Structure 1
Amino acid sequence: MGAEPSHPPLRSDARHNRERILRVAATLFAERGLDVPMAAIARHAGVGVATLYRRFPTKDSLVTEVFTEQFATCARVLEVALADPDPWRGFRTVVVEICAMQVADRGFGTAFLAALPDAVDVERERALADLAGLIARAQAAGALRADFVPADLLLVLAANNGLVTGSAETTRVASRRLVAYLLNSFRADHADPAAPLPPPAPLTVHDVR
């Protein structure tokens, strides 16, 4: 029995069209949400609607492709953090890196804070499980305050997502300062037993926009 035929590689122009569609879709999803019409994506990418549907037969297939790449990047950051022998440094690295990615690419925030197709939800839930592991590890080491909960990371992302200014550089600088303030407040040695936090809200990714 012969080997199964493989799919031929995309021609150069088809590959460039695909890359441009993904780039434009990520930008439009970040700016307008996931309700952007496919026709608008095709128009901004400079391709015909038929070309768009040839590359991505459904809206969900396009959304999945765009945000799967986002979570692959997130997974690499988490892998490095989980391997860090210093639990606080690992936790801090993830918060800093994810927030930096969020302001550099608004689509990354959308990926965490929007309703996505099931295939991407699985990747997101895996990332959130790894984040919960980082939190538990930092708390067990006595570095992260005991009343910090995973939903607090969603609050961090929501706050960081609101830092939209007219200048990308100003947004980046403001985000770095906000994240530094928040991380400082998360340290266990800065928690004030006389002023406990209010109870956490039962947030999920679908509650924060």
Structure 2
Amino acid sequence: MTHPRRSDARDNRERILDAARTLFATEGLNVPMREIARLAEVGPATLYRHFPAKESLATEAFADQMRICHAIADEGLADPDPWRGFCHVIERTFDLNARSRGFTEAFMSTFPNALDFAASREYALKSVAELARRAKETGHLRPDFVLEDLMLMLMAHRGIQPGSQAARTAASRRFAAFVIEAFRATSEAAPLPPVPRLTPAIVG
């Protein structure tokens, strides 16, 4: 026995998610919900029936990216060379963010109704903080590095918006190389200015 209404609902949900991923990637999180509904070819009522708030829509739309973030952090921690693992995390994270402007905004934001997303972000940040601690112990990561420095670089990375995806990716990879050199410990490294508070404190 078929269930055409259930099938239609699933199709509508997938179209909404596909439209959200497309628009979040190109326009960011400020894109109006009505634009998402229009691209998905559904009415606003249908959109809100599936996703009552933009927070819940963004959380599900970016679920795959968050899983990739987890994998990137785990890969970095698994590397026997902490500095190499740290560089891997920067390169892969910047590449991931170059592919979706909206994901960068979501990662940098706190959605009060998106607890699953917040928990996933905290996991990623704690993993990077642990990797940074290990890289400092090897003497390769500058000792005054703090997690807010990486968040600051992610904020700067959001400004990379050339026209094509290939151009964004190329610019992102070059920027990641500069970031790695900035974080590398050298005997000539000058002290950094005070740390800005860019993200909620990570519980140790």
TM interval, short-chain normalised: 0.7 to 0.9
**Equivalents in 2 of 1:13, 1:118: separation in Å?**
26
Gapped regions of structure 1 (runs ≥ 5): 1-7
> Which runs of structure 2 are paired with 1:67-82 in the superposition (5 Å)?
67-82=62-77
Select which of 39, 55, 61 maps to 2:50.
Answer: 55
Quote the offset at 1:88 in angstroms: 0.8
Structure 1 residue matching 2:31: 3-state secondary structure: coil
User: How many residues are treated as equivalent by the alignment?
Assistant: 195
**Letter of the 1:192 counterpart:** E
**Equivalent pair of 1:27/1:106 in contact (CA under 8 Å):** no
**Letter of the 1:138 counterpart:** A
Gapped regions of structure 2 (runs ≥ 5): none
**Equivalents in 2 of 1:192, 1:12: separation in Å?**
63
Q: 1:58 to 1:170 in 2, by over 3 A?
A: closer
Structure 2 residue matching 1:115: 3-state secondary structure: coil
Instruction: Determine whether 1:123 maps to 2:120.
Output: yes
Quote the offset at 1:11 in angstroms: 5.1
Supply the RMSD in Å over aligned alpha carbons: 2.2
**Equivalents in 2 of 1:106, 1:20: separation in Å?**
20
Quote the offset at 1:35 in angstroms: 4.1
**Equivalents in 2 of 1:185, 1:18: separation in Å?**
43
Instruction: Determine whether 1:88 maps to 2:83.
Output: yes
TM normalised by structure 2 equals: 0.84
**Letter of the 2:121 counterpart:** R
**Equivalents in 2 of 1:106, 1:35: separation in Å?**
11
**Equivalent pair of 1:68/1:123 in contact (CA under 8 Å):** no
What corresponds to 1:192 in structure 2? Answer: 188
**Equivalent pair of 2:29/2:106 in contact (CA under 8 Å):** no
TM normalised by structure 1 equals: 0.82
Quote the offset at 1:74 in angstroms: 0.4
**Equivalent pair of 2:56/2:114 in contact (CA under 8 Å):** no
Q: 1:170 to 1:58 in 2, by over 3 A?
A: closer
Q: 1:18 to 1:143 in 2, by over 3 A?
A: same
Q: Percent identity?
A: 49
Instruction: Determine whether 1:24 maps to 2:7.
Output: no
**Equivalent pair of 2:142/2:183 in contact (CA under 8 Å):** yes
**Letter of the 2:199 counterpart:** T
Quote the offset at 1:38 in angstroms: 2.6
Select which of 130, 135, 151 maps to 1:133.
Answer: 130
Once the two structures are superposed, residues 79-129 of structure 1 have per-residue CA deviations (whole angstroms, 9 ceiling, x without a partner) of 111111110111111100000011112222112222323412222122111
**Equivalents in 1 of 2:183, 2:19: separation in Å?**
37
**Equivalents in 2 of 1:52, 1:71: separation in Å?**
23
**Letter of the 1:109 counterpart:** T
Instruction: Determine whether 1:202 maps to 2:197.
Output: yes
